[in-house]
Structure 1
Amino acid sequence: MLCIHRTSFVKVGLSLLVMIPLVGCVTMPHPFEKKEGSAGGKLTVPPPARLIVPVPTEALLTEKDSAILAQDMVKAMTDQTIPPVVGTAQKGEWLLMMKAQSKDGVVTPQFSVISPDGKVAATRNMMPVSVQDWASGNETILAQVASQTAPMVTDVLKGLEAEVMAKDPHSLKNRPAQIYFKGVTGAPGDGNIVIARQFVTSLKDKSNEIQSKKDKADYIVDCKVSVTDGAAGTRGNPVQHVEIAWHILDKAGKEAGKVMQINDVPAHSLDVYWGDTGSAVGEEAAGGVKRVISNFSGRDDKPLNNGAGKGLLAPPELINNK
């Protein structure tokens, strides 16, 4: 199984590969496994430094219920790894404004992301609710609306970030990621060499390059192998427990992700030669590292596909409140 976390973690079995995420679920090939693996996780591109969620005044709710909705949105978006806060609209801040409209017995809430210059970056409809349920301020319903809305807000922010990256010739959307590889340590026999050689070969493509100078790299990768005696194994055959940890740091030293490869193998079967096993480990790990970098950097995210609402000035009352 493979999941990616902003600090991603992958278990590979010399038959199991798993990545624990930051954001977005993916499926990856697992040549190190006898069976096809699965993937899960959640990846979020870093949003603005802060996102203010004002208590809505046009949401067709009481003041109390409007405050509950704002708090629910903050909680749901925090679960999405976005750092929002409930507060008054402030000049120069990113805002999440909410309101609602009623028609034919159905209330349709709506959110707009307002950029620091007071323009509407995007507007999206939220989950429709019956007039009766909405007017009652049912806390379960409000929490459900917030929960379903949070991923939509995340997608909008990722799209906005992707727009900026697309216009920046120095961003990873427009050039390969420079990766400084510190090598593999801890493997018995020829494992360090075989794994490292295959990793470098499998990593290099149009989006990723090996950088020989650490200070010019976007990401730094190292790998540590641990082999310990395990249980007796089936039918009394002894086994060893193999753990291979790949750490990916950005140039500021922040952990972008982790790929873990874990499995039990026949005891001492890797003492001298790793052969195809080492090649499979390096190839599989390269795929995991590429995914961590893509998820962490947002280089594969698509620019926001906006409709008519893009770039419009925020309502006068919002600007005046600033």
Structure 2
Amino acid sequence: MSEASVRRLITLSAVVALSALGGCVSVPHPFRHDATGGAAQAPTARLAIPLSTASGTDMAGAGQWQHAMVDAMLAQSVPATGQAAHPGDWWLKMTTEFHDGAVTPVYAVITPKGEERGHLDGAPVPAARWQATDGQAAVHSAQEAAPGVADLLTGIRAAQMQKDPNSLKNRPAHVYFAGVHDAPGDGDRALARAFIAAFPDAHDDIRHGASGADYTVRCTVVLNNAVMTTSTTPQEHITLTWQVLDAQGHEAGSATQIHDIAAHSLDHQWGDVAVAAADEAAGAVRQIITRYSGRANAPLPADGTLPAQQAAALQPPVAAGKHPAAPAATPPVMAARPVAAPVRAVPPQPAPMPAAVATPAVAPSTAPAPAVPSGVEQHPVVAAVPPVAPAPRPPVAAPVAAPAVVAPSGTESAGVHAPVQAPSVPAVSAPAVQPPRRTTFPGVTLPPSRAGVTDRQRGADVQVSPSLGR
């Protein structure tokens, strides 16, 4: 099957918005159903979904299942049609398996040559419920399975890209930068220089001409003086739009930076502001190209099954299987960062909390006399140490009993020994010093790098891989 024939089933458009308030990256639709775009192609690309001939499903039930699956695939932006497969069509075969009084729907993607390329099992359904005349079981099964079928098609396309030495899976994307227009001051030159310096990496390079480029990037700046604000300082509203076009001139996406700035603050030199803005834009443009081309999609294995984590996620309801990666990614973040920050922040303010023992390790020898709980740094802690010492954890001797309370931090054991030589003053100053921040627009904080991006589907007339077709 040629690359050209593969590009006719799926079209994708990603629009990425980058704003000062931040945002999120939505999961991109790997396929698009577009009546206008489809009409421009002959013959029309489609994924045929014929009636199921599975045993235990009558004609009425088969029709309900077919219609439900077509609707579910259209919701996944796959141009599906409820009809028998024609020569050259990719099609979806739907069958059932019976085990222990339950029906398991089975979905298989069939190539134009009649070979099965991918398959997945739906969630088991009680036989009585499956055969009910209301057809709700089939509708629910179709809605659950549709994201997995879309993943199969995406994986099939990715596997084809992997075998193609000219695809973006095997070479960098060639990007022509058409420059910046209408920026005040030296913004046109400063932004262009900064973007050309920030953008190239192992996956994307800059071309100085449109010939042979996979994508074209251009930036337009709009400055609006009419800003409604409660600030006593005059403000201006500036918008930077970084548009990405594919080789055919179709919009692959756009990144927009919107900021309120002090009036006339950029009328002359942009300086580091251009560097900060271009760095943010470079990250957004990379994401647009990655999502639009599908170069980061995982190839479907030769056995035609989704990776274990995806296949397992399809068995629970769709809500659980739709975002399997997010819950798995959060525990490491929760375990690593909250522990390190609080532990180092405690020494400066060791109240009656046990965690404050890191500071008292030095304090007992210097000021053990006053027991009045008026001080916050040493005296109250010294007064609290004697009561704690008789009843600490047994593994530690009496003088060192206090550090046992700090054990939950794990890594702070070394920090407890350090204060013996140097008081907790260095420890207090370290947390107080915040890392240097990047230069931003005057009065505005740019969103963090490679974040603050939102994808949304574009309109018609966009035809891009990944795709499957005749």
Q: Please give the range of the TM-score, normalised by the shorter of the 2 chains.
A: 0.7 to 0.9
For residue 287 of structure 1, report the CA deviation from its aligned partner.
Answer: 0.9
The range that moved more, 235-244 or 222-231, is: 235-244
CA contact (8 A) 1:6 1:257 kept: no
Which residue among 248, 255, 258 is the counterpart of 2:254?
258
Q: Which residue of 1 aligns with 2:220?
A: 224
Partner Cα distance (2:56, 2:204) in 1: 50
Q: Secondary structure at the match of 1:216?
A: coil
Using the aligned pairs only, state the percent identity. Answer: 36
For residue 43 of structure 1, report the CA deviation from its aligned partner.
Answer: 3.4
Partner Cα distance (2:185, 2:136) in 1: 59
Partner Cα distance (1:208, 1:296) in 2: 14
2:303 corresponds to 1:297: no
Q: Which consecutive residues of structure 2, in runs of 5 or more, have no partner in the other structure?
A: 1-10, 34-43, 307-470
Structure 1 residues 1-322: aligned runs within 5 Å: 6-13=12-19, 15-16=20-21, 37-44=23-30, 49-58=45-54, 60-307=56-303
Q: Secondary structure at the match of 2:191?
A: helix
Partner Cα distance (2:169, 2:95) in 1: 35
Partner Cα distance (1:143, 1:242) in 2: 48
Q: Secondary structure at the match of 2:211?
A: helix
Q: Which consecutive residues of structure 1, in runs of 5 or more, have no partner in the other structure?
A: 18-36, 311-322
Q: Which residue of 2 aligns with 1:20?
A: none
The range that moved more, 270-279 or 80-89, is: 270-279
Deviations 1:175-197 (CA, angstroms, capped at 9, x unpaired)? 11111111111211122222222
Aligned residues: 286
Evaluate the alpha carbon distance shift between residue 59 and residue 111 of structure 1 in structure 2; reply closer, same or farther with a 3 A threshold.
farther
For residue 288 of structure 1, report the CA deviation from its aligned partner.
Answer: 1.0
Q: Which residue of 2 aligns with 1:317?
A: none
Query: Which has the higher Rg, Structure 1 or Structure 2?
Result: 2
Q: Which residue of 1 aligns with 2:433?
A: none
CA contact (8 A) 1:10 1:261 kept: no
CA contact (8 A) 1:60 1:101 kept: no
Higher relative contact order (CA 8 A, sep 6+): 2
CA contact (8 A) 2:123 2:141 kept: yes
CA contact (8 A) 2:57 2:131 kept: yes
CA contact (8 A) 2:179 2:218 kept: yes
Partner Cα distance (1:141, 1:304) in 2: 28
CA contact (8 A) 1:111 1:124 kept: yes
Deviations 1:241-289 (CA, angstroms, capped at 9, x unpaired)? 2221111111111221121222322222222232332212111111111
For residue 139 of structure 1, report the CA deviation from its aligned partner.
Answer: 4.3
For residue 146 of structure 1, report the CA deviation from its aligned partner.
Answer: 1.9
Evaluate the alpha carbon distance shift between residue 242 and residue 140 of structure 1 in structure 2; reply closer, same or farther with a 3 A threshold.
farther
Evaluate the alpha carbon distance shift between residue 154 and residue 287 of structure 1 in structure 2; reply closer, same or farther with a 3 A threshold.
same
Q: Secondary structure at the match of 2:249?
A: coil
For residue 59 of structure 1, report the CA deviation from its aligned partner.
Answer: 6.1
Evaluate the alpha carbon distance shift between residue 59 and residue 110 of structure 1 in structure 2; reply closer, same or farther with a 3 A threshold.
farther
For residue 46 of structure 1, report the CA deviation from its aligned partner.
Answer: 7.0
Q: Secondary structure at the match of 1:244?
A: strand
CA contact (8 A) 1:180 1:212 kept: yes
CA contact (8 A) 2:117 2:304 kept: no
Q: TM-score, normalised by structure 1?
A: 0.82
Q: Secondary structure at the match of 2:119?
A: strand
Deviations 1:134-170 (CA, angstroms, capped at 9, x unpaired)? 1114444433322221211111111111111111111
CA contact (8 A) 1:74 1:84 kept: yes
CA RMSD of aligned residues (A): 2.3
CA contact (8 A) 1:230 1:238 kept: no
Deviations 1:53-108 (CA, angstroms, capped at 9, x unpaired)? 11111163331222122122222212222111110122221011101112223211
The answer to which structure has the higher helix fraction is: 2
CA contact (8 A) 2:61 2:131 kept: no
Q: TM-score, normalised by structure 2?
A: 0.57
Partner Cα distance (1:249, 1:45) in 2: 18
The answer to which structure has the higher strand fraction is: 1
2:63 partner amino acid = A
For residue 45 of structure 1, report the CA deviation from its aligned partner.
Answer: 5.5
Evaluate the alpha carbon distance shift between residue 214 and residue 101 of structure 1 in structure 2; reply closer, same or farther with a 3 A threshold.
same
CA contact (8 A) 2:14 2:291 kept: no
2:83 partner amino acid = G
Partner Cα distance (2:89, 2:187) in 1: 52
